[in-house]
């Protein structure tokens, strides 16, 4: 199915103003990756500058709408419908490279309807992060190794904690009212601690990844990428 959808060869259009780039990186100026010759027929094919990534409110809306999971087609559509270039082939490649979580298969009722893959809603945000970093000049390999390795783990902790809070909250309601109050207070307390730990872990992992980022900058590399995760 993906094969029929890969005719878009138009160019990426990263956001931001002039961004330094590494050796072997493509220059990114005024939100346009200058990969194509200026005299190419397609050089000025997109008269209106477009954003490379989704805005925070758009991400929130998507995550809310697809809280139970989102298909690959819907993910790609979330970007392409907003004039942000992102093909299904690229999506699959990111998954293959380990930049995105894998899908879970869900069968569909009805004759010969097969199954479909459902991805967590956070996948859209992850793609957004990856695209931001790529716009900064980072390679997929660098993003994978320096940032997303940590991001995966911290997100995992955050998700497990959220699940734990939910279960505890549910089970606490089964206690008698006198005990419940005390347990709820304790839960709220430990929840604050947990959230703080997740925040600190996020900050720490950014700092750990930062030296590499600084090296890249010194070498004429991308800047500010550590602020993105």
Contacts with DNA, residue ranges (CB under 7 A): 1-3, 6-9, 12, 21, 23-27, 33-37, 40, 71-73, 85, 87, 89-90, 92-93, 95-96, 102-117, 119, 134, 138-141
Nearer to DNA, 7 or 170 (CB): 7
Q: How far is the CB of 98 from DNA (least distance, A)?
A: 9
Nearer to DNA, 114 or 177 (CB): 114
Is residue 209 within 8 Å of residue 147, measured between CB atoms? Answer: yes
**Distance in Å, CB of 95 to DNA, minimum:** 5
* 27/211 with CB nearer DNA: 27
What distance separates the 2 farthest-apart alpha carbons in the chain? 77
Q: Which residue number, 15 or 33, has a Cβ lying nearer to DNA?
A: 33
Give one DSSP letter per residue of the chain, joined into a string.
-GGGG----PPP---SS-B---TTSPPEETTEE--S-TTSTTTT---S---SS--HHHHHHHHHHTTT-B-HHHHHHHHHTTT----HHHHHHHHHHTSSPPPEEEE-SSTT--EEEEB-THHHHHHHHHHHHHHTT--HHHIIIIIIHHHHHHHHHHHHHHHHHHHHHHHHTTS-HHHHHHHHHHHHHHHHHHHHHHHHHHHHHHHHHHHHHHHHHHTT---SGGG--
Q: How far is the CB of 39 from DNA (least distance, A)?
A: 11
Please report how close the Cβ of residue 154 comes to DNA at its closest, in angstroms: 23
Q: Among residues 7 and 17, whose Cβ is nearest to DNA?
A: 7
- Tell me the CA end-to-end span of the chain in Å, nearest whole number: 33
Q: What is the closest distance, in whole angstroms, from the C-beta atom of residue 25 to DNA in the complex?
A: 6
Query: Quick one: CA torsion of 206, 208, 210, 213, rounded to 10 degrees?
Result: -110
CB of 35 to DNA, least distance (A): 3
Q: How far is the CB of 207 from DNA (least distance, A)?
A: 23
Q: Are 88 and 73 in contact (CB under 8 A)?
A: yes
Question: Measured from the CB atom, is 112 or 174 closer to DNA?
Answer: 112
Closer by beta carbon to DNA, 33 or else 205: 33
């Amino acid at each position: 199915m993906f094969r029929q959808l890969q005719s878009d060869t138009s160019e990426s259009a990263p956001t931001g103003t002039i961004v330094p780039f590494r050796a072997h990186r493509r220059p990114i100026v005024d939100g346009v990756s200058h990969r194509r010759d200026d005299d190419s027929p397609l050089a000025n094919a997109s008269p209106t500058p477009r954003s490379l990534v989704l805005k925070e409110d758009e991400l929130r809306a998507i995550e809310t709408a697809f809280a139970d999971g989102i298909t690959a087609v819907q993910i790609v559509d979330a970007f392409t419908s907003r004039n942000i270039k992102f093909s299904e082939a690229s999506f699959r490649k990111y998954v293959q490279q380990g930049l995105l979580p894998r899908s879970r298969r869900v069968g569909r009722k009805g004759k010969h309807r097969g199954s479909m893959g459902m991805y967590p809603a956070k996948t859209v945000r992850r793609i957004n992060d990856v695209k931001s970093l790529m716009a900064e000049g980072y390679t997929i390999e660098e993003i994978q190794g320096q940032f997303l390795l940590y991001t995966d783990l911290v997100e995992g902790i955050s998700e497990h904690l959220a699940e734990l809070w939910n279960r505890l909250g549910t089970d606490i309601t089964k206690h008698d009212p006198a005990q419940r109050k005390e347990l709820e207070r304790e839960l709220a307390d430990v929840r604050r601690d947990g959230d703080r730990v997740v925040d600190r872990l996020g900050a720490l992992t950014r700092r750990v990844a930062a030296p590499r980022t600084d090296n890249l900058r010194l070498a004429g590399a991308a800047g500010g990428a550590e602020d993105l995760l």
